[in-house]
Amino acid sequence: MPPPDAATYAPTLPMATYLPIGTPSSSSSSPAAAAGAPEPQTLPFFLSPLPLPPPPLPAGHRVLSSLPPPPPRWPIAVRVPPAFLFEADFRRSHSLVQFLENEGAVPTVEEDKTREQVIRKLKEIVMDWAKVVAYEQRVPPRRVTATVLTYGSYTLGAHGPESDIDALCVGPCIATLQHHFFVALRQILERRLEVSGMQTVENAKVPLMRFTFSGISVDLTYAQLPVVDAVEAINTSSPQFLRRLDSRSWRSLSGVRVNEQIVQLVPNAKKFQVLLRSIKLWARRRGLHCHLLGFFAGIHLAILAAYICQRYPNATANGLFTMFFEIFAHWDWQIPVNLHGQPTNCKRSDGYYMPIVMPCTPPELCMSNMTKCTFKKIREELMRGYALTKDLWRHDFEWTWLFAPFPYATRYQQFLRIALCSPTSEELRDWTGWVKSRFRQLILKLERNGLECDPYSSEEVDHRVIKPNIMYHWGLISEANTYLDISSLREDFMKDIINDVYGKVKCRRSELTLSVVGSSQLPKSMYSDSAYLGYMPQYMVGYQPAPDCWSAAG
C-alpha cells in the first residue's frame, strides 16, 4: 500500500506534524500552536481488554443451565489529556538522547578533532600523489591537482566513535584506477606510520581501499575526472560535465552528490542527526548494518531518516524514531522511497528489495545487496521496533529493549561457519575483502538450496589454527528437512571467487573452508549478546508480525 499523505495520516501515536520540539507550558503556548497547527487529539486509552472467549466444551457435554448469557463487556475508554502525551513524549525524547550518549554513539570533541586531522592529511597525501603521477606522465605538475571529499554519516553529522570515514579521492584524467590508485597511492599510504590494515576491494561495483589512519577506519573510493585540474573541476561541476565520467567514477561520486541533497532537504539538521544516530545504533545492534551481507548500507538509512524528517518536521526525537518504525514496518515495497515525493522512472529489476531512490539528478536507485532472507529479517526487525515503541504511555519502557543485541546463539540451532586462512596478516586482509565482496552470491546459493540464513558480520579468530584466520557464523533456517552438500556448495562458491585473474592470484596461498556447526560449537563471545533477552518483558519477546507483512515483497 502506498504511504498515506502526511496531512491526513492518523498514526496510532500522536506523532504527527503537530508534535512539539519542547515541553509546552500550556496548549496555547506550544510551538505547534504558535505555528497555527491543529491541537493534538486525545487518544482513547482502554483500561481493560476484551474478555477472552470461553474454552469449548468437551464432546458430548451440554450446557445444563437455562440462564440467559451475561451481557457483553465493553472496554472503558478514557481520554488521555494532551499535556500528559506531550510530557511523555518530551521525557522519552530526552531519555533517547541520553541513551545515545551513554552507549557511546556520540563522539567526543577530541575524536572529532582526530577525524579532521585525518581528512586534512589525506588531502595533502593525494595532492602529493597527483604531482608524482604528473611527473610520471610528463605533465607540468603545477597544472595537476587532486583532492579528497567526504560523505556518509561523518559529513551528515551523524557519525559515532566507531564510524568509518567515507572518503572520495577525486583525481585527474592521467591517474588511472588500477595502476595509479590501487598501486601507486596504496604504496604511498602504506609507507605512512599512521596507516595500518590496508585492504583493497578492486572489482566491486564501487572499488575502494579500506585502511586505518591514526586509529580511524577509512573507506577510500576513487573518481577519475576527465580533466587535469581536478580541484577546479569538482568545484564547478555541472550535470553535463558529470555525464562524461565512466560508470565507476559516477557511482563513486554519487555518495557526495546524495549527501548534498539530503542536507538541503531535511528541515532540521539536529533532529535528523539524532534520528540517524538512533537508526544506525539500532541496525548495528540488531545485525542489519552490513551492506556486503545483504542488509542496509549507510546511504539507505540516511535517506529513510530524511524521509521521516521531511514528513514530520515538528516531531520530537522520540516522535521521529517512533514514526520510522510506524511507516516502514507497513510500507508497500513495490513503491520506492523518494525524498522528492514525485513518481520516478527508476526501473526496479527482479529480486530488487526495498527500492530507495537517491535524491540526485537523474534519479537512480541505491545499490542493494538484499536477498529474500535478509529482506525478511529487516521486515521482522522493523515490526519488532514498531511493537516496542507504539505505546507512548508505557511508564516501564526502556530503550535497552529496542537496542538489545540480536541473540544469534539462542535464536538458531545450526550455523554455517566460513573460515578464511592465509599465510600472513596482510594476505588475509586482502583475501577477506575479496571473499566478502562475493558473500551475496553465497547467500543466494543457500536460498536456492532451500535454506534461509541470517549472516552475522562479527569476525572471530580460531586460536587453534597457527596461521592468521577469520571465521564468520551465519544462522541457518530450514522450513523442512533440507540436505546441504557442503562440498558442492564450496565448489560452487569458489567459482565466483576465482572468476577472474585477480581472484585466482589471491586464492593461491589462501584457503576457504565451509562447515555446518551447532550452537554449542560457537565462540563464547557470541553468547554474550543473548544475555539481554532475559530482561525483555514476556509480552515483548513474543510479538507477532502483521499478517500481510510479506505480501509486498514483490
Cα 7 from Cα 312, distance rounded (Å): 10
Confidence of residue 74 (pLDDT cuts 50, 70, 90): low
Sheet with 216-224, side-by-side order of all strands? 147-151, 165-171, 216-224, 208-213, 195-201
Question: Helix 269-285 to helix 317-328 angle, to the nearest 10 degrees?
Answer: 50
Beta-carbon-side half-sphere exposure of residue 261 (alpha carbons within 13 Å)? 19
Asked if residues 403 and 281 have their Cβ atoms less than 8 Å apart, the reply is: yes
pLDDT in tens, 205-263: 788 999 999 999 999 999 999 999 998 888 655 666 667 788 888 888 888 989 999 99
Q: Find out if CATH 3.30.70.260 is the number for domain 109-263.
A: no
At residue 349, the pLDDT reads 59
At residue 394, the pLDDT reads 76
pLDDT in tens, 473-513: 999 987 767 788 999 999 999 999 887 766 777 778 899 99
At residue 48, the pLDDT reads 33
| Three-state secondary structure string covering 371-410 | CHHHHHHHHHHHHHHHHHHCCCCCCCCCHHHHCCCCCHHH
Q: Find out if CATH 1.10.287.3510 is the number for domain 408-529.
A: no
Taking Cα atoms as reference points, which of 405, 361, 363 lies closest to residue 525? Answer: 405
| Three-state secondary structure string covering 337-363 | ECCCCCCCCCCCCCCCCCCEEECCCCC
Statement: the pTM of the whole predicted model exceeds 0.85: no
At residue 421, the pLDDT reads 95
| Three-state secondary structure string covering 168-226 | EEEECCCCCHHHHHHHHHHHHHHCCCCEEEEEEECCCCCCEEEEEECCEEEEEEEEECC
At residue 57, the pLDDT reads 47
Confidence of residue 78 (pLDDT cuts 50, 70, 90): low
Cα 17 from Cα 392, distance rounded (Å): 16
At residue 476, the pLDDT reads 94
CA 533 to chain centre: 22
Q: Where are the domains of the chain?
A: 109-263, 266-343+350-403, 408-529
Q: Is 237 helix (H, G, I), strand (E, B) or coil?
A: coil
β pairing state of 357-358 and 364-365: antiparallel
pLDDT in tens, 258-308: 999 999 999 999 999 999 999 999 999 999 999 999 999 999 999 999 999
Taking Cα atoms as reference points, which of 238, 315, 400 lies closest to residue 17? Answer: 315
Asked if residues 393 and 88 have their Cβ atoms less than 8 Å apart, the reply is: yes
CA 162 to chain centre: 14
pLDDT in tens, 328-360: 999 999 899 999 877 666 666 556 789 999 998
Cell of 52: 477472552
Does residue 466 have a pLDDT over 60?
A: yes
Q: What is the CATH number of domain 266-343+350-403?
A: 1.10.1410.10
β pairing state of 208-213 and 216-224: antiparallel
Does residue 71 have a pLDDT over 50?
A: yes
Cα 299 from Cα 25, distance rounded (Å): 38
Asked if residues 395 and 387 have their Cβ atoms less than 8 Å apart, the reply is: no
Confidence of residue 12 (pLDDT cuts 50, 70, 90): very low
Confidence of residue 101 (pLDDT cuts 50, 70, 90): very high
Confidence of residue 39 (pLDDT cuts 50, 70, 90): very low
Instruction: State mean pLDDT over 154-178.
Output: 92
Percent of the chain residues topping a pLDDT of 90: 55
At residue 76, the pLDDT reads 62
At residue 205, the pLDDT reads 77
Instruction: State mean pLDDT over 532-550.
Output: 39
At residue 505, the pLDDT reads 76
Taking Cα atoms as reference points, which of 379, 442, 383 lies closest to residue 416? Answer: 442
Instruction: State mean pLDDT over 34-62.
Output: 40
Give the chain's mean pLDDT. Answer: 81
